Every structure is written in C-alpha cells, then in structure tokens.
Amino acid sequence: MDRRAFMKSAGAGMLVAGSGLAWAQSTTRALPILPLTDLIGGIEDRISLALMPSGHDFGTGAKSQTFGINHDYLGPVLKVKQGQTLPFDVTNNIGDTSTIHWHGLHIPGDVDGGPHQEIEHGFKWTPDVPIVQRASMNWFHSHMHGKTAQQTYKGLAGVLLVEDDASLSADLPKTYGVDDFTLILQDKMFDAEGKMAYELSAAVFEDGFEGDTLVVNGAIAPVAQTVPTGLVRLRILNACNARFLGLSMENGPITVIASDGGFLSSPVDAESILMSPGERYEVLVDMKAFEANALNVNLNGNGGGFFANLFGGNQTTTALSLTRSATKGFDGAMPTQLANLEPPRPDEASVTRSFQLEMDIGADLAALALAWDNFCGDAGAMAINGQPMKMDRIDEEVRKGDTEIWRISVDDQLHPFHVHGCSFRILSQNGRPPPAYAAGWKDMVHVAEGWSEVLLRFDYDAPKDAPYMYHCHILEHEDCGMMGQFTVS
C-alpha cells in the first residue's frame, strides 16, 4: 500500500489531500528565477512590498489560491549592501492581519517585524531597516502569531541577500540567474484537482505540516537549468513549514560555503547536509568537473519518523538538475579561504539560560485542530519552560552587549530552534560539536537529544512593546505556543 492509500484508509484525523508524488514525477520544468530587486547600486525610493491574495500554478495546471509579495506567489529576492538603510513600505491587502519579519537580520526589535508589529488589512507598515551585518542570506516571512504557518505556506515569504565589500569583490560566481541562483525549497500538498492544500489535524500538530511534493521557487520539482562551464553558486532556503531536508549532489560531495549568517572560513565538503525549516546554506557546484549534476533532496531528512519507517525510508527527489552549456561562465577556481572566522569563545559568556521545548502540555490536539479552523491561535498546546507563548508576557530580559550561552533541550522529537536579533555560533548540537558546515554563523540550531548550546550576543534594543522572539521554526509548533519573548536593553 502506498503512502496515499494508507493515509486515506487511515481515515479520521489524517490528512488525505495528497496526490503529490504523481504530480512530482510527471515532468521536468524550467527553474523559475525569482524576480530580483537589486539595490546594491543605491536606493532612491521607498521599497514597496505589497502583500496580496493571488493565484498561482505550481505546475499542476490548476490555479492554487496563494498569497504573494509583489508577485503571485512568494516575494522578490532583495539584494542589498551592508551600510544601507532599507526604507520599506509594506502594504497588507491579504484580507487578514499579518506581519513581515526579517529573519536573520541584526536589527532593533521595533523594526524586526515580529508578532507585535501587526499590519492590519488595508494598512501600511514603514520600517527603516538598517543593514549592519556581514554578507549573508536572510529571508522574510509572515510572523502573525497563530497564523504564521498558514500565511507563510500560502506564500508570504521572500529572500533578502546582504552583500558587503568583501563578498562583492570575492572571487565567486555572482551573476544572478546565470551562475548564481536563489532556491526556495518547500513541501506542498496538492488535492486531486492540483490545488495547494493545507489542513490541520492531530498529526499535523504533532509533526507540523508536511507535504509530499517538493516545490522549488514555486514550481513542482524536478526543475532544470542550463548553466555555463565553471562554478555555479546555489543560495538555498528551506522554507518548509515543518520538513527537514537532506541535501546532496548527484555527483560528488555537496560543497558548502556559507550558512545562515555568513561565509564559512573555507568550503566544507559533505556527503549530505541536513537543513531544518528556516535554515539557509550556500553551496558551490563545479560544472567543470561534471557535464551534468543535480541537487537531490531527501524528504525524510530528519531520518524518518513514523511514515518514513513504515514506507521504507529514503524518499529522495531531484530538486534541480543542472546541465552544462558551452558558454564560458565564472572562471575562477574553487576558493580555499572565504572568511576570517574566529572560533567561538564560550569563556566570554556571563549568563547562561536554559530552554526546554515541550509538546502536548495537556491539550487535546485533535480537538484543537478541528476547533481552530486551520490555525492555532493562542491555543497553548506547546510551550517553552512550561509556558505557552503569551503576547503580553516577557520571558527573558537580556542586557545589551552581554555574551550569553543558551542551552536548549527537548522532550522527544527534533525541533529547529531560532533566535531573533542576532547570529550565533553553535557550541554543541545534541550534545556533540556541530557538523563543519554548521560551525559558522547561524540563527538556527537543531535540538533532538541532550543539550544544544549556542553562544550569542545582542547589540540592539528590543523594548517591552517590541520584544524579540525565540521559537521552534516548525511553524505549527510556533503558532501553538512553542515560542517565547525577550527584551534587550
């Protein structure tokens, strides 16, 4: 029995929408190049981001109901430079209250776009966002408390690339859409008509929403792209609600050059990398070495769980296939040195805080799923340190400029933990040193067993009425209360 048949027969409480694997396998599509807004040369006007309802064909032939930011699904790729201030005009016309959070940016709480900076339908939010940090791949998405999962799934997400003098002059591929690609990876569920589906159930509350179809930049995988001979750069965001993705190359190792918050000290070759929702990695593909290559994604990147084990595990899909053309592209060699990355200095920490992520704190998840009409609200079925997220409760107060160690642990399954307002270094992940590709600047850490520890420092203010968040980035867990708030002053 295949997964879909099983889920149908499993009946009540299970999501039965999918026929996605069939959609996925039928065709190879061209890689959609997300529209680029390149502001490196200067910013003359305010930057408009219009949140709106729309329709989008993922490749099934049917128009799904989506949200988009200036586009019918997802937002533009914004390319900006360290030292700029970004004057945003974010208008919301989705018919519901929303927010736009700048995930990964080192910015004060009042422009962070978290749950306290709500934009009502028909209104405009006009933050001036200062870019002080080093070159890094960041993103923006809805952070509307209780509805983050639903709104982000529908398309309220985009990429924000920060460049700096070093990255702009680095000997790396940087011609957008030619040898430098931005990839937004998501998993979707489609109904029998080919329309994107999102339904909450008890199972979804447990694991978060997982679709069976991989989508790249809004097109059902596999997608294909012809590239010049030479090095090709892929800047990859896992924008799934809940799914961990295992990434590898068809030929050769996967060569990682940057993580969430910036470049690694030198390229790291790995057999595969595990990417949680919210994480970003940049990789280089050597198209001199192979005529063709492909980025493969294992949808059971988290090592399985119930369904994976039941159906025999490894579900690997080609996300992007690359074919070399005769055109000469970026001519440089694989870099040996990327950035000056000092080892983390835990001895500098003056404060240690502990966070325990908790599931199912006494609420009936199945009942919740039905009652809440596809959103969690203040249901509070999940918690951190025994407290479900409350908008009017500050959980931690941090002193600006202090170096701190945060120790995060969980009761059972794997959770990706994210902190606003900073990049941090992972000291240990599940009781072990992080893999080399995750040893640089991060704002996400995996927490499954033992302690995960990060070393962080906050340099900007986050007052009581505009606190930062820390949370599980499985969006259904976050919506359900696995989130807390902290001030910095």
* Contacts (Cβ under 8 Å, ≥6 apart) of 312: none
471 binds, among ligand C2O, Cu ion, none (CB under 5 to 8 A by kind): ligand C2O
Which of 134, 235, 415, 457 binds Cu ion (CB under 5 A)? It is 415
Compute the distance between CA of residue 275 and CA of residue 186 in angstroms, rounded to an integer. 12
Please report whether residue 103 would count as binding Cu ion according to CB under 5 A: yes
H helices within 311-467, ranges in order? Answer: 365-371
415 binds, among ligand C2O, Cu ion, none (CB under 5 to 8 A by kind): Cu ion
Among 159, 180, 174, 176, residue whose Cα is nearest residue 77? 159
Interface mask toward ligand C2O for 384-403; x: CB under 6 A: --------------------
CB of 382 to Cu ion, least distance (A): 7
Q: What are phi and psi of 196, to 5 degrees?
A: -60, 135
Please check whether residue 482 is in contact with residue 475, taking contact to mean a CB–CB distance below 8 angstroms: no
CB of 467 to ligand C2O, least distance (A): 12
324 binds, among Cu ion, ligand C2O, none (CB under 5 to 8 A by kind): none
Q: Which two tokens stand for residue 4?
A: 């879909």
Beta-bridge partner residues of 293: 322
Which of 79, 106, 143, 145 binds ligand C2O (CB under 6 A)? It is 143
Binding residues for ligand C2O restricted to 80-119, rule: CB under 6 A: 101, 103
**CB of 141 or CB of 233, closer to ligand C2O:** 141
Give me the residue whose beta carbon is nearest to ligand C2O.
103
442 binds, among Cu ion, ligand C2O, none (CB under 5 to 8 A by kind): none
**CB of 289 or CB of 391, closer to Cu ion:** 391
Please check whether residue 260 is in contact with residue 423, taking contact to mean a CB–CB distance below 8 angstroms: yes
Q: Is 416 helix (H, G, I), strand (E, B) or coil?
A: strand
**CB of 437 or CB of 468, closer to ligand C2O:** 468
CB of 73 to ligand C2O, least distance (A): 18
Please report whether residue 243 would count as binding Cu ion according to CB under 5 A: no
Compute the distance between CA of residue 488 and CA of residue 109 in angstroms, rounded to an integer. 8
CB of 318 to ligand C2O, least distance (A): 27
Please report whether residue 106 would count as binding Cu ion according to CB under 5 A: no
CB of 442 to Cu ion, least distance (A): 12
Q: Which two tokens stand for residue 306?
A: 């119930």
Compute the distance between CA of residue 280 and CA of residue 268 in angstroms, rounded to an integer. 15
110 torsion bin: left (phi>0), alpha (psi -120 to 50), beta (else): alpha
Binding residues for ligand C2O restricted to 257-286, rule: CB under 6 A: 278
Please report whether residue 472 would count as binding Cu ion according to CB under 5 A: yes
Residue 43 CB neighbours (<10 A): 14
Please report whether residue 442 would count as binding Cu ion according to CB under 5 A: no
What element of type H or E holds 20?
Answer: helix 20-26
* Cis upstream peptide for 115 (omega within 30°): no
**CB of 160 or CB of 472, closer to Cu ion:** 472
Please report whether residue 111 would count as binding Cu ion according to CB under 5 A: no
Burial state string for 433-462 with b = 16 or more CB within 10 A and e = fewer than 16:
ebbebbbbbbbbbbbbeebbbbbbbbebeb
Please check whether residue 258 is in contact with residue 236, taking contact to mean a CB–CB distance below 8 angstroms: no
CB of 347 to Cu ion, least distance (A): 28
Side-chain-side CA neighbours of residue 486 (13 Å): 23
Compute the distance between CA of residue 270 and CA of residue 254 in angstroms, rounded to an integer. 5
Which of 71, 106, 154, 420 binds Cu ion (CB under 5 A)? It is 420
Binding residues for ligand C2O restricted to 408-447, rule: CB under 6 A: 418, 420
**CB of 142 or CB of 255, closer to ligand C2O:** 142
116 binds, among ligand C2O, Cu ion, none (CB under 5 to 8 A by kind): none
Piece of the chain touching Cu ion by CB under 5 A; list 166-174, 251-259, 319-327, 419-427: 419-427
Among 257, 213, 209, residue whose Cα is nearest residue 235? 257
278 binds, among ligand C2O, Cu ion, none (CB under 5 to 8 A by kind): ligand C2O
Binding residues for ligand C2O restricted to 449-488, rule: CB under 6 A: 469, 471, 473
Q: Which two tokens stand for residue 436?
A: 């080399």
**CB of 229 or CB of 241, closer to Cu ion:** 241
243 binds, among Cu ion, ligand C2O, none (CB under 5 to 8 A by kind): none
Distance of CA 79 to the CA centre of its chain: 17
**CB of 425 or CB of 471, closer to ligand C2O:** 471
Burial class of residue 84 in the structure, from the number of CB atoms within 10 Å of its CB (0-12 exposed, 13-18 middle, 19+ buried)? middle
Given the rule CB under 5 A, which residues bind Cu ion? 103, 415, 420, 472, 474, 477
Given the rule CB under 6 A, which residues bind ligand C2O? 101, 103, 141, 143, 278, 418, 420, 469, 471, 473
